[in-house]
Amino acid sequence: MSEIDTATRTELEAAAFRRLVEHLRERSDVQNIDLMNLAGFCRNCLSKWYLAAAQARGLALDYEGAREIVYGMPYEQWKTLHQREASPEQQTAFAEAIRKVHD
């Protein structure tokens, strides 16, 4: 593959990000704890990364605003509509994953 110029690379990365966000919005059945347990990140992580990028550029955005961009609605509304209580198995897997990160 030939070199991709910076502007084109940025456009491709932005398109991939938009598709990832769209996919996560469509897959509200996949809980954040599932994402964390399997991939090591979730919608909230993506929101934090988005916020950090905005702040690095001096943009006035807060965490809740970044969450709304990722979730497609206010976070509390998303939780009410889609979030389920984590099972004991999910909680155990999450605790184990966190322990590995901190060891």
- pTM of the predicted model, to two decimals? 0.85
Please indicate, yes or no, if residue 1 is contained in any of the structural domains: no
How confident is the model over 39-74, as pLDDT tens digits?
989 999 999 999 999 999 999 999 999 999 999 999
Residues in the chain: 103
Mean pLDDT in residue range 12-16: 97
List the domain range (segments joined by +) for residue 13. 6-102
pLDDT at 98: 79
81 Cβ neighbours under 8 A, 6+ residues apart: 28, 73
Q: Number of folded domains in the chain?
A: 1
Instruction: Please give the structure tokens belonging to residue 24.
Output: 């996560």
Q: What is the mean pLDDT of the chain?
A: 94
- Give Cα separations from 95 to 30, 76, 98, 99, 102 (angstroms): 18, 24, 5, 6, 11
Does the residue 29 lie in any domain?
Answer: yes
pLDDT at 58: 98
Q: Is residue 26 part of a domain?
A: yes
Q: What is the CATH number of the domain that holds 34?
A: 1.10.3340.10
pLDDT band at residue 1, thresholds of 50, 70 and 90? low
